[in-house]
Amino acid sequence: MKKNFFLFILSLFLISCGSNYNTDFQPPEAGANPADVFPEKIAGLERMISMMSIEDNSFIGVQSVYGDNNILIEVIKAANVQEADRYVNDFAVPRIDAYSSHGRARVNGVWSGRGSNSAGEKIYAWQKQNWVYLITAKSSELFDQAIQEFKYIDFQ
């Protein structure tokens, strides 16, 4: 009982920390052109789109790098929600947990996680149905600009 209460309080705390984001946007349409998914430029930095090499072939991922890896946006599609949950657990959670300050929660069935470190780097990830998104940036300013430009997330 105490553990569940603690987890509930921790979830509320994590949700209230920092900026909250609206991720209630429809995922890309089937067969969407990656050029239509990723912003052409963020903070004046040109995009470089490529397929992700994911160890598990159950997932299809496309990423866009901006500048010298100043910003990285990843979009992963799984076959179904359960497979997306597996991607989150196997790939997204370990990356978030690698940051010195991190948290993650599932609220009303929606998973999200965030992290930051003393160098100013930030990560935010979320799951929308069978899609998983990750945004990483080398600074808070670049991160905020990525949020403004990427059409599947916005400030709340």
55 near 66, Cβ under 8 Å?
no
Of 3.40.1000.20, 3.40.228.10, 3.40.50.970, 3.40.50.300, the CATH number of 2-155 is 3.40.1000.20
The pLDDT tens digits of the residues spanning 72-93 come to 999 999 999 999 999 999 999 9
pLDDT of amino acid 146:
98
CB contact set of 129 (below 8 Å; sequence gap of 6+): 27, 81, 84
Which pLDDT score, from 0 to 100, does residue 82 have? Answer: 96
Burial of 94 (0-12, 13-18, 19+ CB in 10 A): exposed
Domain borders along the chain are 2-155
- pTM comes to 0.88
